[in-house]
Amino acid sequence: MADQAKRTMTLNLTDAEMRVLEQLSAQKDLSKTAVIRQAIRLYQLVDARITRGEKLFFEDEDKKAKSELMVL
Amino acid sequence: MRIAVGLIDVSTGEPVQAELFDDVTIEDFLQTQRDWRPLVLEAAQRLTRAGDRPSIIPQHFHWDWTRKEGDLRMLANRFYGIRREDKLQGLAKLMTVGHVCRLPEQAGKPLVYVDYLEVAPWNIKPLMTALGRPHRFAGVGTRLVEIAVRLSVDEGFRGRLGLHSLPTSEPFYINTCAMTPVGPDATKQNLTWCEFTPAQADGFLGR
Amino acid sequence: MKMNTDPNWLKKKASMEDGGFVSVGGLVSEIGMPGREFPVNADPLRHAFVRLLQLKRREKSLSLEELANKADIDLAELMRIARDEHHTPNILTVCRIAEFFRLPQRPLLALAGLLEPTDDSFQHESLRFAARSEPVEKLSREEHKALEEYVKFLCDK
């Protein structure tokens, strides 16, 4: 991908959102920026497949149950 | 991105310059079908006739070609190729989302997942021996693993890497690269999941 | 991104690699299970592929050019597929044909010789289709005339 130059933006988050971001950052051993970048990539991936008509499920192996994730 | 990388020319044992690039297009994948596939098929035929077939390779572990063009646009996917003498020598698809570490000491942490990695058949000794020719370049696989590790570092994953190794490739990943074989993955036809810790990744890079 | 430029590191790694398999997925994984006949005879399958394409076009009354335009396929490639059963079509073309005619992609890729068939019945059924679908309708007047003239030409030689 040729366009790897980085640009800066300011992000306004609620206290709760910031707490979650900090928690994920600690859990995943990632900077907060890296967590946000992962979230964008995941959103794009999921969105592309849902647009194609696929569905996203969580599967509980123990309960042998599947539940559909809310469409984003 | 296009950068010069060294490979080893097997005929001389000396480094030669190749180009590592990340602006992979569908044409590069079609080139693998045009230039690589016939040689792989021919070598496989000869190996089969000689009763010396490569060990069990899962039949359906195959990248879905129909998704390729869409895959190229996803931010989560990064593609790298190596070119020398105007020919594709190796190709890889790496994912930065969707897979996490399984080793207990780093379980759940993000890693770069090697979804696809391949070198041209003329660089694979057993295939070229079956065709009665020497293989051409060494180090292509190493360079592709190197770029995967460096991407992992760039992404903040500290070099963590994961992949499902084909049985024939296990010596490379487990012995040469010194990845930890975590075990067979029943969801991926029992292919062995191999993983790098940050320390192992550093060791691989020679740091 | 800076790659390792130490030639000693590269030589050491290359020597350990020793030209062995390094694939994750890819062509090597298409070779399939030991004990299977490989590869299957691609020609009869290719013949079935060409017949399938022909019949699907006729079903929709499409010329090759019309199909090329509507399915966004290179016309020259389509003509090679239609006229030369030994030509290996490119994957993108086969995928677009599958998409346009709403056919399943993997079996079509196997029929075109780009993937190994998934089971033994595949070749059998494909050959049956190719054999059953050979046209047996009567010749048109123009075809009959052209045939007569050509046979006469051959006999006069």
User: What whole-number distance in Å separates Cα of residue C112 and Cα of residue B97?
Assistant: 34
User: What whole-number distance in Å separates Cα of residue A65 and Cα of residue A9?
Assistant: 41
Which numeric CATH code is attached to C38-118? 1.10.260.40
C114 neighbors C94 (Cβ within 8 angstroms): yes
User: Residue B59 falls within a domain, yes or no?
Assistant: no
Looking at residues B172-186, what average pLDDT do you find? 93
What DSSP string runs through B35-83?
IIHHHHHHHHHHHHHTT-PPSP--TT----GGGHHHHHH-TTEEEEEEE
Measure B46 CA to nearest chain C CA, in Å.
Answer: 10
User: Residue B172 falls within a domain, yes or no?
Assistant: no
B74/A44 touch (CB, cutoff 8 Å), yes or no:
yes
Please name every residue paired with B94 in a beta bridge, in sequence order, or none if there are none: B78, B114
- For residue range B78-122, list pLDDT tens digits in order: 999 999 989 999 999 999 998 999 999 999 999 999 999 999 999
Q: How far is CA B19 from the centre of its chain?
A: 16
User: Residue B181 falls within a domain, yes or no?
Assistant: no
User: What whole-number distance in Å separates Cα of residue B47 and Cα of residue A42?
Assistant: 42
- CATH, residue B147: 3.40.630
Please name every residue paired with B16 in a beta bridge, in sequence order, or none if there are none: B7
Within 8 A of B175 by CB-CB distance, chain C residues are: 16
**Strands B161-165, B112-119: pairing kind:** parallel
User: Residue B207 falls within a domain, yes or no?
Assistant: no
Taking alpha carbons only, the member of B93, B139, B98 closest to residue B116 is B93
- For residue range C46-102, list pLDDT tens digits in order: 888 888 888 888 888 888 899 999 998 889 889 988 887 777 788 788 888 988 998
**Chain B neighbours, 3+ Cβ pairs < 8 A:** A, C
Measure A72 CA to nearest chain B CA, in Å.
Answer: 17
User: Residue B150 falls within a domain, yes or no?
Assistant: yes
Task: For residue B117, give its domain range.
Answer: 2-50+68-158
C19/B135 touch (CB, cutoff 8 Å), yes or no:
yes
pLDDT of residue B26: 78
User: Residue B7 falls within a domain, yes or no?
Assistant: yes
User: Residue B139 falls within a domain, yes or no?
Assistant: yes
Measure B71 CA to nearest chain C CA, in Å.
Answer: 14
Of C1, C9, C23, the CB nearest to B118: C23
Count structural domains, chain B. Answer: 1
How many CB atoms neighbour CB B37 within 10 A?
Answer: 19
User: Residue B12 falls within a domain, yes or no?
Assistant: yes
The answer to which of B5-9, B69-73, B138-142, C134-138 has the lowest mean pLDDT is: C134-138
Of A27, A41, A48, the CB nearest to B97: A41
Please name every residue paired with A68 in a beta bridge, in sequence order, or none if there are none: A57
C6 neighbors B32 (Cβ within 8 angstroms): no
Taking alpha carbons only, the member of C32, C96, C121, A8 closest to residue B41 is C32
Within 8 A of A28 by CB-CB distance, chain B residues are: 108-110
Looking at residues B22-42, what average pLDDT do you find? 82
- How many percent of chain B have pLDDT more than 90? 66
pTM more than 0.80: no
B142/C33 touch (CB, cutoff 8 Å), yes or no:
no
Taking alpha carbons only, the member of C95, A69, A71, A52 closest to residue B73 is A52
- How many percent of chain B have pLDDT more than 70? 91
